[in-house]
Every structure is written in C-alpha cells, then in structure tokens.
Amino acid sequence: AKLAKTNGFAVHGNDTNPLVNRWNGRPYSKRYLEILEKRKTLPVWHQKEEFLQALKANQTLILVGETGSGKTTQIPQFVLEAVELEIPDKRRKFMVACTQPRRVAAMSVSRRVAEEMDVNIGEEVGYSIRFEDCSSSRTVLKYLTDGMLLREAMADPLLERYKVIILDEAHERTLATDVLFGLLKEVLKNRPDLKLVVMSATLEAEKFQGYFYGAPLMKVPGRLHPVEIFYTEEPERDYLEAAIRTIMQIHMCEPPGDILVFLTGEEEIEDACKKISKQVANAGDVYGPVKVVPLYSTLPPAMQQKIFDPAPPPVMVGGSPGRKIVVSTNVAETSLTIDGIVYVIDPGFSKQKVYNPRIRVESLLVSPISKASAHQRSGRAGRTQPGKCFRLYTEKSFNNDLQPQTYPEILRSNLANTVLTLKKLGIDDLVHFDFMDPPAPETLMRALEVLNYLGALDDDGNLTKLGEIMSEFPLDPQMAKMLVVSPEFNCSNEILSISAMLSIPNCFLRPREAQKAADEAKANFAHIDGDHLTLLNVYHAYKENNEDASWCYENFINPRAMKAADNVREQLVRIMVRYNLKLCSTDFNSCDYYIDIRKAMLAGYFMQVAHLERTGHYLTVKDKQVVHLHPSNCLNHKPEWVIYNEFVLTSRNFIRTVTDVHGEWILDIAPRYFNLENFPQCEAKRVLEKLYKKREREGEESKN
C-alpha cells in the first residue's frame, strides 16, 4: 500500500493493485522493483514531498542539485504524478517536457526513465532530437533537446500540449535554453496553468531567481565524497599523450575503480581508445582486464549505453579486478552520471563555439575550460567513494588562466538561425527581448543583415514569405534557402541529398592502419568540381548499391552515417512536400546537370565565397580573411571562386567542403550582396567590376 501511495496509482482502476503498472496495465517486472529501491536512495527522493508542495504553490521553481542527485531522471516522474492528480478530465491530453542541451543525454536519460517506469521507450516516455522523434500519442513524458522545444514553439506558440516544462541543465546556458528562458517567461504570463521548473547543477541559480521574478529556489544537497586533486608540475605539451600516460599509471598503481577521461571530440576519443587498449594489452595480464568505452554525441544509442555496463570481472578467481575506462566529451561533465568512477582525468579542454561577428565566422575551437567546469569534472570522481582527479595543467594555470565561468553560448554564436526562429515566433523587437544575457548588438545586426540578404527578412526586418518557409527547416538559414530555391534550378532532389549529407557527421572512414586504401576509395567518388558533388556521388552510389553495409565498408564509407543521411533526407522531403516545393532533377545526361546544382548551392551560400588571389591564396569575399582549401578537398584544380560550407579555425584558417562556382553566376544569383557600391577594395572587387563591364558591353552589343 505504501508503494501504491508513493507512486500515486490512481488511474485505470488499478488503485487496488499496486503491482500493476498504471501506465500500461501490465504487471510490474522484477527489474522495476529492483530499480525502484535504488531510485529511493537518490538525494532528490528525500525532498520529494517538499518539491511537490513547492510545485503546487508556484508557477516557476528553481531546483539546484549536484550532478547525480537524481534531478533529470526522478523529478520529471514526480511531476508526472502531481500533474495528473490535478487534472479533472483524464482524457485530456497533457505532457511533461524535460529539455536537455545534448542529444546523447536526451536519448540516454529517456531510455533509463522508460526502464524505471517499466514502459517501452517511445510509448509513455519518449524523446525528440533533431531528425529523430521517438514519441507517440501515448507519450506523457518527453525528453527533448532545448532546440527541439524551441522548434515546437514555432508551431505551438503557447506550448499547449504541455502542463509542465522542465528546463534541465540550465547552468549550461546553451543558446536554445537562453532563448527558451525569455520565451517561457512570456508564455507563463499567458498560460497561468503552465508550470516551469528550472534545474541546474551549479549555484548560478541566484541569477536565475532574479530573472524569474524571485521564483523559489530549492536546493538538493549532494552526497559527494572527498576528491583529491592533483596538478602537473609543468604544463603538458601534448594533453592526449599525457592523458594516456596518466591512465596507465592509475591502472598499474592505483586501487580498483573506474576512470573517466575528458577529451574534446569523436576523432580524438576514438584515437585515444585505440591507443589505450593497445597499451593495456602491452602491459600484460597482471593488471586486470580493462574495458575502454567511448562517449560522444554521434555514437549510436546501443554504444552509448555501454558506459553504464559494469567493469569487467577478474580474468580468474582471485585475479586483479577489472576496470572500466570511459573516454568522453563534455557530456559526462554534468549531463550523464556514470556510477563507479573513482578517477577523473581532466586535460582542461573542451570544444567550444566561438563567433567573430566582424568577420562573420563561427567555429568550434578546442579551448580551455572554465574553473566551474573543472570543478564539475573533478566532482565526477567522488560519486560512490572518495576519488582522485588528475588535472593535466598546473595549479598556477588553474588559478590564473581559467575563467570562473564559461560564457553563455549566446555571447559566442552566430545568431542568424536564432533571429529567424524569434521572428517566426512573432518576436519583432529583438533589442528589447528579455535575454538573461543580451547578445552583442553587432551580433544581432549581423544576423539581421544575413537574413535580409537571404531574403528571409525584408528591409524593415519583417519575415517574408520565403523566410517563413525557410524557418520550417531545422537547418541553418543558408541551407534552408538553398533548399527552398532549388526547384527554380531544377535540382531539388540533388540539393536534398547534398543537404542531408552535410547534416551528418563525416561519412568517409579513414582508419589509421588503412589510410592509403581509404584515400583511394574516396578518390573513386571524387568530383573534380567540388566536395559537395563528391558527397552527392557517395549518396547516389550508396542508393545504387541498395544501401548495403558491406558495400560501404569495402568503400570506406560509414554505413551508419549514410543511414542517418537517408533519414534526414526523408524528413527534409516531407517539409518540401508540405510547402509545395517541387521535387525535380535536371536530366543527368544534360551538361547543365551539375551546373544547376552548383548554382542552387550558390543561391544559399553566396555569403560564403572565397576568391583565389594572384598571390595564390584564397581570400573570403568582403571579410578578406586568408583561407586555405582544407586538405580533405577533392578538387583537381584551384578554382577562381569557391563556395564553402565551413570555416575551420586552427593554426591556419581552412575552408572545408568547397565547390567551384563561376564569377558570372555570382552576378546573376546574388546581385545585391555583390553590389560593388558597398564592397571593400580588393582583387575580387576588381574582377567583379570587369565582369559587370563585360556584361554591359554584351548587353549593348545585343541591343545594337
């Protein structure tokens, strides 16, 4: 009966039988009861009643608790009970939303909660991330990325399907979460029945309180064990090498306990995993078995789940115990909690977005983390017992070089997409929008300017018909524009495939031990006019070979990436069809086939053009940044003009995924942007001037 009460069995006539799942009427599994016991030991359970009362009494609530205290997995379930009890008409559809900044977290946590509630994922508990909706009409609790909730608001401005919205990981201050803050503040005024819970792992919460009109703050004390912190004596030149060295030292010298290492991205992590496995194997059997597990956002769900597997058992009875080594991106900093971690290795870096509005370049850059991040990372070591954190930097560097907090993403991002979303949401006065941290005026200006050039906003800053359709695509404005206009170039089928290929992680496999073979395989797909067309070739070949995975491996193509591309394409097709955008192709045998595609791409990406200077290097048009073609390019020549998909900031500036375009096309397709009146002096300008003159002459000749 106690169980029945705490779980609020009140529906479907099951209030008399506590062993029947209220959600689907099935008897609870043994596993459910096991997990329930574990859940009850989480810190948030001690404050369940307090939380429910606070929720009842307030429209907005702020909850702060250490990572691992049960916020993400338990609070939404508490809310579910409370909300339902308040709804008189049981047939009325309601939902609880819980946002996550990261897709991996949304997927992983929803699966866990489905298990805790003893239901199938996608039914009562679901998740929604860009290009993947795993929810149904039965769904009552939905984990979704903050970006997805923002998209939902575009179609449902008052978010009427939700009774309670939980903004989780608020301390991460992602762009979408920041926009949701301002948006929800408005929505709450118009919907007195809606409730908002803001959850955060750090005590920046007072700032949240001030922002949300003094909403009550509830603190969940953590139960952290002490963590001993070690710094290096000297700065490390190569943090990857230092991390692996440290892992080996721990493995050989320290008592049992799992290791968590923070690295910056997929490639680095996969590389590290291989090296670690190799070194462990070389060290011999005396040290006990090791299981190395990677964790990053593009890892398929089944692989993500492996971080929760227990460490391997000793090889033989009485042998050394096994160790699990998790090599992860920032996602393990606060979004996911892995029990059993005793050692943390923190090289002090993460991939962060940077934006320079002056040259309009947004890039992901491996950058030093903040003190707050370093603190969170070390905390991961003390979850289940006292732990150790090895910081691969000096104490002096920690004190002097690290910033106290990471800057909110809104201050480091290109806002074109955000501004388009806000316009679509009917927010016209961006300057007075209630941002928790207002973005730089220059960044907003830049965004408005870009959208105006793309034709999404008119000269008064109002959303145009074109802009309206563009905003329906979950893509960057440039790509959305390219798609929307592609029927005019008679190549929307191909532009769809290219957009899909650009929206997935790199499809080319290049294993260290077979780089030459991989490069040769890639060369078979190469299109001399550009990487976009090469991607199109890959997509076509994949379809012609019946999406066969072994064909993929033979050709060093990642089948998972291709499957994802196909899925993305399908969803983009649906949006095209919904807005009556024609699906069409130029005849493949026509000499215009590739030309039409290149022109359509230019119609979206004309603000990402670089010109080959006489000195032999490329200069981005208007912004005049020296750039180099990324070594991965497939061109067999250096075109005079290229469009590029991405600006990569490293020791050198690279442009990646480039395609040859013609100067004449530029005049036709983007005359306003390439209007020479407001064009900085440069070689590109002189070349364009000549083209304009030539065109005038030709015009006059044809008149005569």
Q: Does 65 bind ligand ADP (CB under 6 A)?
A: yes
Measured between alpha carbons, how far is 36 from 430 in angstroms, rounded to an integer? 46
Label the pairing between strands 361-368 and 349-356: antiparallel
- Closest by CA position to 124, among listed 109, 138, 106, 108: 138
Binding segment for Mg ion (CB under 5 A), chosen from 69-77, 274-282, 321-329, 446-454, is 69-77
We find the least distance from the C-beta atom of residue 199 to Mg ion, in angstroms, to be: 7
Question: How many distinct helices (H) and strands (E) make up the chain?
Answer: 26, 21
Candidates 21, 60, 69, 72; binder of Mg ion (CB under 5 A) is 72
Binding segment for ligand ADP (CB under 6 A), chosen from 66-74, 204-212, 623-631, 654-662, is 66-74
68 makes contact, choosing from ligand ADP, Mg ion, none, with CB < 5 to 8 Å by partner type, with ligand ADP
Binding segment for Mg ion (CB under 5 A), chosen from 71-79, 135-143, 418-426, 628-636, is 71-79
Torsional class of 235: left (φ above 0), alpha (ψ -120 to 50), beta (otherwise): beta
We find the least distance from the C-beta atom of residue 70 to ligand ADP, in angstroms, to be: 4
Label the pairing between strands 132-134 and 125-129: antiparallel
Candidates 20, 22, 23, 42; binder of ligand ADP (CB under 6 A) is 42
Binding to ligand ADP (CB under 6 A) within 69-88 occurs at 69-74
We find the least distance from the C-beta atom of residue 591 to ligand ADP, in angstroms, to be: 55
Q: Which is nearer to ligand ADP, 112 or 142 (CB)?
A: 112
As beta bridge partners, residue 293 has 326
337 makes contact, choosing from ligand ADP, Mg ion, none, with CB < 5 to 8 Å by partner type, with ligand ADP
Tell me phi and psi for residue 195, to 5 degrees: -120, 150
Q: Please give the residue whose beta carbon sits closest to Mg ion in the complex.
A: 72
User: What kind and span of H or E run contains 206?
Assistant: helix 205-211
Binding segment for Mg ion (CB under 5 A), chosen from 64-72, 94-102, 152-160, 597-605, is 64-72
Q: Which is nearer to Mg ion, 44 or 374 (CB)?
A: 44
Q: Does 100 bind ligand ADP (CB under 6 A)?
A: no
- As a dihedral over the C-alpha atoms of residue 612, residue 614, residue 616, residue 620, rounded to 10 degrees, the angle is -30
User: What kind and span of H or E run contains 251?
Assistant: helix 239-253
172 neighbors 101 (Cβ within 8 angstroms): yes
Q: How far is CA 456 from CA 320, 380, 581, 609, in A?
A: 63, 45, 16, 20
Label the pairing between strands 195-200 and 341-346: unpaired
Site for Mg ion (CB under 5 A): how many residues?
Answer: 2
Q: Does 337 bind ligand ADP (CB under 6 A)?
A: yes
Binding segment for ligand ADP (CB under 6 A), chosen from 107-115, 274-282, 440-448, 625-633, is 107-115
Binding segment for ligand ADP (CB under 6 A), chosen from 8-16, 84-92, 108-116, 324-332, is 108-116
Measured between alpha carbons, how far is 568 from 129 in angstroms, rounded to an integer? 12
Q: Does 68 bind ligand ADP (CB under 6 A)?
A: yes
Q: Which is nearer to ligand ADP, 68 or 530 (CB)?
A: 68
We find the least distance from the C-beta atom of residue 133 to ligand ADP, in angstroms, to be: 20
Measured between alpha carbons, how far is 509 from 540 in angstroms, rounded to an integer? 17
339 makes contact, choosing from Mg ion, ligand ADP, none, with CB < 5 to 8 Å by partner type, with ligand ADP
- Closest by CA position to 535, among listed 572, 496, 574: 496
Measured between alpha carbons, how far apart are the two ends of the chain, in Å? Answer: 97
Binding segment for ligand ADP (CB under 6 A), chosen from 12-20, 67-75, 187-195, 528-536, is 67-75
Q: Does 99 bind ligand ADP (CB under 6 A)?
A: no
Query: What is the DSSP track for 515-571?
Result: HHHHHHHHHHH--TTBHHHHHHHHHHHHHHTTT-HHHHHHTTB-HHHHHHHHHHHHH
Q: Which is nearer to Mg ion, 360 or 377 (CB)?
A: 377
Q: Does 99 bind Mg ion (CB under 5 A)?
A: no
Q: Does 45 bind ligand ADP (CB under 6 A)?
A: no
Q: Does 659 bind Mg ion (CB under 5 A)?
A: no
Rounded-to-5 percentages of helix, strand, coil across the chain: 45, 20, 35
We find the least distance from the C-beta atom of residue 232 to ligand ADP, in angstroms, to be: 29
Measured between alpha carbons, how far is 229 from 124 in angstroms, rounded to an integer? 43
Q: Which residues are at the interface with Mg ion (CB under 5 A)?
A: 71-72
Residues lying near ligand ADP in the complex (CB under 6 A) are found at 42, 65, 67-74, 108-109, 112, 308, 337, 339
